[in-house]
Chains A and B, each alone.
Chain A
Amino acid sequence: MGTVQGGAEQVNIYSSAYSSASGIVRYALLAIPLVFLTVFFLLPLALTIVVSFWERAGFWMQPTFSLRAYQDFFGGPRLFLLRRGLSVAALVTALGLALAYPIAYFLCMHVRVKVSRTVLLLFTVPFVVNYIIRNFSWAYLLSRTGPINHALQALHLTRGPVDWLLFSDFSVLVGLVTSYMPFMIYPLWLALAGIDRGLIQASWMLGAPPLSTFLRITLPLSTPGIFAAIIFGFVGSFGESAVPIILGGLGYQLMGNTITSTLDVLNYPLAAAMSSIVVVVMLLFLGVWYLAFDVRAFLGKIVRWRY
């Protein structure tokens, strides 16, 4: 992995396995979160996948290998929820990124550190309020007789109450973006904060205009933050169950809602199948990311040292 040449010594910064005791201790420590996840996450996930191939038998299940649950899903009205979930999540993530990046950039580059930390913390305040109550407040704000409609009519911008403000795709978007955009600010800020200012100054000194500096230096170096922000936004909004039922239109559902609904009637195989499908889709999405984005950027500036 990373080595530094030059000087009298060749020092392995991140050395490979020792056979000494400290090496074993090191591996043991590093393994803790992995073991934790394997037991409490991989095992239940495996269980879920296995169950998805079982069939309903009365109130419990018959362990077999059957594609019935998958057929039910792909052949039924629920398939479109998967498409909707993906498109909504993509839209929310794109919007969130567009809104959050300028904030993170501004706070990082042009504001004193103390002030920017305080402002960042201010973004967390809405989250001490239960998200059900938060979204319910939005329902109140966007309702036909709510303050926003009142304001619109008072300003003579509309003649009557605007119906599509609430119980529509619009209100779901509002709910999701306000719920997840703040999450996206922090990793962006963190990544931007870690950029060596010397690089940016060097770019100026070499005569590059500000936009060029941004596009060729700042933006690429902030990609780890963008990666994290996209994951937070996409995964968060895809898996959201509360916003659709509080703010969504007639029968508006996302995958989380329909899984709950099948569990209501103890249809475990179908619920398990849908969960497995969601995981597979997300993995595909992550796979695309792996191809497009060099994971080694997370390993720190090592990348620069390799060539």
Chain B
Amino acid sequence: MEHESGRLRRRDVLKLAAHATAGASLLRLGPLSALAQAGAAKKGTLNFADVGVGDPGGDWSKLSSATGWNVNLVAMGNAPSQVLNVLIAGGGKQVYDVVNIVGGMQKPLVENDLIIPIDTGRLSNWTKDSYIRDFLSPGKPGFDFIGYKGKVYGVPTVLQGDSFGYLPEKTGPLDSYAALFDPKWKGFVALEDNFTTTGQKTALYMSKNKLATIKNPADMTTGELKIVTDFLIEKKKEGQFRVIWTSFEQSVDLLVRQEVYVMDCWEPMVFVARKKGVKAEYARPKEGYLLWTMAAYIVKNPKHTSEKTKGIYDLLNFMLGGWYGAKISLLRGYMTNPDAVSYAKANQKEFPGNEAAEVARIHNNVRSKFELGGTWQNRWPTNVEAYEAEWARFKAAPSK
């Protein structure tokens, strides 16, 4: 995003003036221009609901020029309620073509008849993607992020492993989730407001450090849940946590302002914090990582013609391709597909400077996480209602 210098150039000022007077740029993708676009594009527009991760800076020109399809990106939240309720209640089935969220939601989506299986044979980039082969093939725990009952439903465009971030200047090097609960950082720790990530990381920590017997941190029983929640409540009472963060922006802010020193969060927060000049590190805990992927699902839209379906497969294939993968890696810091590395290297004009090296670095970084292992994030555990109830109990517990 920020490649050129920040200085205000004469050209930019003139451009701004032109835009301001003509107001032409306003006619990009609103109600009026959607109509205009429908006529202008050769084949039509695909409605792509995305949580923000899948947006390559608004530039879908490579797809449009190759296939004639335009993409209308609709912003939605990642919370299950957002996704499910928008699709179930909000008439999203007839409106959206593809939904791009963090995977693992196949069970409620399929059982509610909202998505259709993906014919991977139609995706030329699928077999080329060694990441899928290595980590997400049937039989591996990663398959639960894109498949259900043996069928593939989601296209994994992004892979990542989560742990926690910290400010090494304040805490020194940290290598275990124990830091989140270390009384040394009392009042300077933040957790994510998400029972599947925070709860699972805590469970991973407790089971690996023999603080509790938890058979599978990815799918806890109600008894195990209670143990984990009691532990968290105890820490809350001791004043261990400053806040439970609920958004990307808030979480980055906590690190940048040094409001907290240790934070359960996603790696991009650390990248953004670094870009803002703060020395932040993402830990490599010995207990392992919380692994996850994005999954692009095809919505079961009764209005889909075979031509539109072909367009959708073109979009999905494009998202498994080198240009998209490299763009997303650079924008978000996530690992995408193996083609991204080679594409960036081979196309210096599109990825100037050391961008290609950056993509490679990101991919190596995430690969090593997958190799270390840990636990796969479970977005829809068997006892999901109990997860939510226990989390409500944690939130309602008095602090101090």
Contact = CB atoms under 8 A, between A and B. Distances in A.
Contact of A76 (B84, B187, B247, B389): B389
A123 interface: no
Given A146-B257, A163-B187, A251-B396, A267 B385 contact: yes
Contact of A250 (B244, B259, B389): B244
Contacts of B352: none
B4 interface: no
A131 interface: no
Interface string B49-86: 00000000000000000000000000000011100110
B257 A262 contact: no
Interface stretch (B131-139, B150-158, B235-243, B343-351): B235-243
A29 to B, nearest CB: 30
Interface stretch (A106-114, A135-143, A180-188): A135-143
Given A264-B80, A265-B387, A139 B250 contact: yes
Contact of A251 (B84, B244, B389): B244
B396 A77 contact: yes
A301 to B, nearest CB: 46
Contacts of B391: 261
A105 interface: no
Nearest to B112: A59
Interface string B182-194: 0000010000010
A134 interface: no
Contact of A78 (B236, B241, B396, B397): B396
Chain B contact residues (Cβ within 8 angstroms of A): what range? 35 or more
The prevalent SS among residues of B at the interface is helix
Most A Cβ at <10 Å: residue of B84, B241, B259: B259
Contacts of B392: 76-78, 258, 261
B141 interface: no
Given A251-B396, A265-B80, A267-B388, A136 B259 contact: no
A61 to B, nearest CB: 12
A242 B384 CA distance: 24
A58 interface: yes
B108 A59 contact: yes
A266 B258 contact: no
A59 B81 contact: no
Interface in A37-90: 56, 58-60, 76-78, 80-81
Given A136-B249, A264-B79, A77 B393 contact: yes
A261 to B, nearest CB: 6
A139 B253 contact: yes
B257 A144 contact: yes
A245 interface: yes
Given A136-B249, A250-B242, A264 B258 contact: no
Interface string B81-112: 10011000000000000000000000010011
B226 interface: no
A264 B108 contact: no
Nearest to B246: A245
A189 interface: no
10 contacts: A58-B111, A59-B112, A167-B242, A249-B399, A251-B244, A251-B399, A253-B396, A264-B81, A265-B80, A265-B384
Given A245-B193, A249-B243, A265-B80, 17 more contacts: A58-B111, A76-B392, A77-B392, A136-B250, A139-B253, A140-B257, A143-B257, A144-B257, A144-B258, A145-B258, A245-B246, A245-B247, A246-B246, A251-B193, A261-B392, A263-B85, A266-B81
